Amino acid sequence: MPTDYEPPRDAADTFARYKAHYEGERALKPEMLEHADRALKDGATVGQLATWTGLTPEVFRRRARALGVERKRPPTVGKLARPESSEETTA
């Protein structure tokens, strides 16, 4: 594999643009997360934050749990989820 490889100009431009955006995202993320934490405490939903930021709702679910923000709805999966009736009938 040659060590003197140079990507084609269009690829090099794409790589440079990606790097600039990636570095910008890394610089902006702490400020965005501060605003998101405040918004969660003020009543924003994880779905709203996901829509506004392009991140997944799970990112904000985890942040909300870490902040102790009250859930907007009961859990539907996992160990905290409960069936409609917790009393099972046996025949």
pLDDT tens, position by position, 4-52: 999 999 999 999 999 999 999 999 999 999 999 999 999 999 999 999 9
Label residue 57 exposed, middle or buried (CB < 10 Å: 0-12, 13-18, 19+). Answer: middle
Q: What gap in Å lies between CA 91 and CA 71, rounded to an integer?
A: 36
Using alpha carbons only, what angle is made at residue 72 by residues 66 and 49, rounded to the nearest 5 degrees? 65
63, 55 Cβ separation under 8 angstroms: no
Quick: pLDDT tens for 47-73.
Answer: 999 999 999 999 999 999 999 998 877
**Shortest CA distance to 55 belongs to which of 70, 41, 39, 72?**
39
